[in-house]
């Protein structure tokens, strides 16, 4: 279902020198951790939090505002072209630009190749790959015009090494990895930095009921911290890829 943008306006606007950071899939897990990490560590930042679950987004935004950040929520189905177009218009109307784009939205479903339906395969491509393409396309031209910007793609270790029972997910994440590489080549001479992030198993509510103990996984805050550390490098440097795995290396 489409979700119309619904920006929150309780927090005052920061000065134009404060970075605007847009995070998709910001309602829980890694996305929520990224939002809170930037809110805490980048003083005066302005956050555009994007997801379908606006109720959860509002809770994340409130947590970010406690650190002094400006946080707005934008309801959006990032796999739907019209929904993304409406969201981008709302974001730009509110903040005028996006300085840091973090394509974090995604979903995972397990099934063997033989048992993967066409509908499920298409869903994995839409939510993991098409979404990143649509959202990036919506904001890339502004970054190129300003000759500045950071774009992060959330791939996965499944976008580097194949493993069984993840046909649609792995295909989508390999696509994300390839798309990030293409964009890096196309934008490196134009002041835009592109980084592809490959996390292993990271604890989030989506793992509830899986039987896997949280202590076997990485905390979402570690992935968020890695992205922030890369962001803080001078504009003369770029980290093209980040690979993060649980210490035991088995997930």
- Render pLDDT for 181-190 as a digit per residue (tens, 0 to 9): 999 999 999 9
**Helix (H), strand (E) at residue 85:** helix 81-95
The predicted pLDDT at position 214 comes to 79
pLDDT confidence bin for 178, thresholds 50/70/90: very high
Take residue 170 and report the two structure tokens written for it: 């792995």
Q: Could you give the 3-state DSSP secondary structure of residue 71?
A: strand
pLDDT of the residue at 162: 86
- The pLDDT of residue 215: 81
Separation CA 196–CA 177 (nearest Å):
7
Q: What is the pTM of this model?
A: 0.91
Note whether 42 and 19 are within 8 A (CB).
Answer: yes
- Average pLDDT of the segment spanning 149-161: 96
Q: Quote the mean pLDDT of the chain.
A: 91
Please state the rounded mean pLDDT for residues 217-231. Answer: 96
Domain chopping of the chain, boundaries: 20-244
The predicted pLDDT at position 203 comes to 80
Q: What is the CA radius of gyration of the chain?
A: 17
- Residues serving a catalytic function are 169
Of 208, 202, 116, nearest in space to 167 by CA: 116
CATH homologous superfamily of 20-244: NAD(P)-binding Rossmann-like Domain (3.40.50.720)
Q: What pLDDT is recorded for position 10? A: 36
How far the first Cα of the chain sits from its last, in Å, is 32
* Chain segment 11-58, per-residue pLDDT in tens: 333 334 799 999 999 999 999 999 999 999 999 999 999 999 999 999
């Amino acid at each position: 279902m489409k979700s119309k943008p619904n920006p929150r306006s309780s927090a005052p606007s920061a000065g134009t020198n404060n970075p605007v950071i847009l995070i998709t899939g910001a309602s829980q897990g890694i996305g929520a951790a990224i939002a809170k990490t930037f809110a805490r560590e980048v003083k005066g930042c302005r956050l555009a939090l994007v997801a379908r679950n606006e109720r959860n987004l509002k809770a994340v935004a409130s947590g970010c505002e406690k650190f002094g950040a400006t946080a707005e929520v934008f309801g959006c189905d990032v796999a739907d072209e019209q929904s993304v177009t409406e969201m981008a218009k709302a974001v730009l109307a509110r903040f005028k630009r996006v300085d840091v784009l973090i394509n974090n939205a995604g979903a995972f479903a397990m099934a063997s190749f033989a048992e993967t339906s066409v509908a499920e395969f298409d869903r994995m491509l839409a939510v993991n790959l098409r979404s990143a393409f649509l959202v990036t396309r919506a904001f890339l031209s502004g970054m190129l015009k300003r000759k500045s910007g950071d774009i992060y793609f959330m791939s996965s270790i499944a976008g580097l090494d194949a493993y069984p029972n993840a046909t649609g997910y792995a295909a989508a994440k390999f696509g994300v990895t390839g798309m990030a590489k293409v964009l890096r080549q196309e934008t490196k001479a134009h002041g835009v930095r592109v980084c592809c992030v490959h996390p292993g198993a990271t604890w989030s509510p989506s793992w509830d009921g899986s039987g896997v103990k949280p202590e076997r996984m990485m905390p979402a805050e570690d992935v968020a911290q890695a992205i922030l550390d890369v962001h803080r490098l001078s504009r003369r440097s770029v980290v093209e890829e980040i690979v993060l795995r649980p210490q035991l290396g088995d997930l």
